[in-house]
Amino acid sequence: MREFERVEEVKEENPLDSMLYHFDQAAQLLRLEPDLYTFMRHPSLEVTIYIPVIMDDGHLEVFVGYRVQHNFARGPAKGGIRFAPDVTLDEIRALAAWMTWKCAVVNIPFGGAKGGVVCNPAELSRGELERLTRRYTAQLLDILGPERDVPAPDLNTDEQVMAWIMDTYSMHARHVVTASVTGKPIGLGGSAGRREATGRGLLIVANEAFRHLGLSPKEARVVIQGAGNVGGVAARLFHEAGYKVIAISDVHGGIFNPQGLNIPEVLEYHRVEKSFRGYPHAEPIPNAELLELECEILIPAAVENQITSRNAERLRCRILCEGANGPTTAQADRILQERGVFVLPDILANAGGVTVSYFEWVQNRMGYYWSERVVNHRLKEVMTNSFRDVLAYATRYGVSMRTAAYMLAIDRVAYDVRMRGIYA
């Protein structure tokens, strides 16, 4: 096992370094065997592809795409596909590993994977986006499938993109394979409750954290960075549960009202205007200042590396509930621990999405679909049990919830690797 790095030596801007730092810390506390440590620290497979796309004006553009499969010990790889201009291989490596740990934390039978394409979807027509998606899928057919690797939506991808992936896979398989992807439209085999699942999971673990800390959610102030499928849904669900959402933002900036926002009205305004600019019943606020508002619970639900050593000292939340993957760097995490902030780490807090993706995969494979009430009930059971499992590790080992979540995940994956053995 490699010598444990000091947190100051971690490259803060690289999410892979932060992930490996937390992995190393947890592995050492578990006294993980050196061979297992070496095996689990590396991904199983990495693929870089070059995707030719005929653009609408007739010229050929070549895009770079990635798929990283981190671990198969517990089952098929599972993980989203993101389309963004700043996608990097290290980012995809980190996200794939986080998926392995996330699936293990909530104890579902998947390993981790992640994919990405370097592009700006806002600059692509619908036809260009479809051709890009289908060619990306076709070039990865040998490593995808219900028993191999099951993609899902992520940053800048949605139900439509998943439908194109499922159709492309199915055309090559010569029969409909609904379980080849999750996050599909309900009419194509998607699951009821899938769109709300990540936000609902955040609410469930937040409720558990409030109970554990002896706090009351009534009128508790909530600040949310992000207004998409995670942040926007979380805002609505927290509002309906009696929390007071005082600020919310998107990539352009946010709005703040210390008396609380009318969330249904706010979300409808954002749907129509595509931003919060000009919303009349709140003050505008930059994203950087929004993170530093005084509140009981802060939910970063945008992208990685939002809370760093440069702003962690100025956070004024009691609970940090991570809706995004990797929003907090390793250096910032240490600062938050020292300041007594109760952190609900991403691999626990936002695992509602992959949990209901698992439910969708199960429903596809058995050809029988559950009601939203059943999905939500089972999601609550999984998320509540997972919170308690992580808390038990935190109590037993005297560590933070983040370290405890990594320890629990590594323990579960290591057990399966030991039992299966390493084929060599």
Rounded to whole angstroms, the Cα distance separating 79 from 113 reads: 5
Structure tokens at 8: 């100051």
Closest CA to 267 of 223, 218, 226, 325: 226
Instruction: Identify whether the C-beta of residue 157 lies closer than 8 Å to the C-beta of residue 83.
Output: yes
Structure tokens at 153: 């939506």
Q: Given 78, 102, 114, 184, which residue is catalytic?
A: 114
Query: Cβ atoms within 10 A of the Cβ of 143, count?
Result: 14
Rounded to whole angstroms, the Cα distance separating 10 from 330 reads: 8
Is there a catalytic annotation at residue 114?
yes
Catalytic residue numbers, as ranges: 114
